[in-house]
Amino acid sequence: MMASALSVGVFIDKLGRRKPFLSGVTVGWLMCVAVGALSLVKSSKTVNSLLIFFTCVWGKSYFLLSKTRAKTALVCAFPLQSGVAGAFSSEIPSADLKGRTISLAVGANNAINIGLGYLYPYMLNVEAWNWGLKTSWFFVGAGSPFAVACFLLLPETSRYIFRHQHCCFSELMSRRSVGEIDEMFEQKVRPWNFAKYETVLQTAIKEHQDGMRENTGELV
């Protein structure tokens, strides 16, 4: 798990935000379905081994998702509070709403933590609901609408825009600015098209690059 978290920290700007996050959501949701399926068969050594395997895979997707400030019931109640998603609560909101958005996300995270902390003992206690592995089906159902919402609503907020070896902006412009993100929302760009969209700032810098290359060619 620690290795997953560290690798995300190193490669987050190269991989972007949306694809790693949605990959973690998908894998985590599938692992919850798999664990729920194990509750339908008789317990055995093989079942126990599969449970450990599915849990380990879920743990890796947990850290792939982690570090966002909003814990929701999203896909088996992933505590989205540490790695790829950490950028979303601070990068998606407009400058005017950034503080309120982060505060709301932190509040939602704490509220759901408290609620799940209260429900877990009932779900697992043999003298209460005694759901056992069937608890996983609760998170599959509760997380499904949030998982779908992630695919439809979460945009790509980070991307290496310029990679030309002579481009002096290759590092400075590796992330979308607040103005660019606001522009794409104002233009009603689909979230899954954010990475392909060329903003006014990108166009201006490309024109500047072309001018620099032409001037360099004339000097040569």
Q: What is the pLDDT of residue 13?
A: 67
* Domain range list for the chain: 2-153, 159-220
Q: What is the pLDDT of residue 82?
A: 44
Cα distance between residue 30 and residue 99, in whole Å: 34
Q: What is the pLDDT of residue 48?
A: 87
What is the chain's mean pLDDT, rounded?
76
**Does the structure show a pLDDT above 50 at 71?**
no
Contacts of 147 (CB under 8 A, 6+ apart): 25, 26, 29, 74, 75
What is the mean predicted confidence (pLDDT) over 142-168? 73
**Does the structure show a pLDDT above 50 at 154?**
yes
Q: How confident is the model at residue 197 (pLDDT cuts 50, 70, 90)?
A: confident
Q: How confident is the model at residue 122 (pLDDT cuts 50, 70, 90)?
A: very high
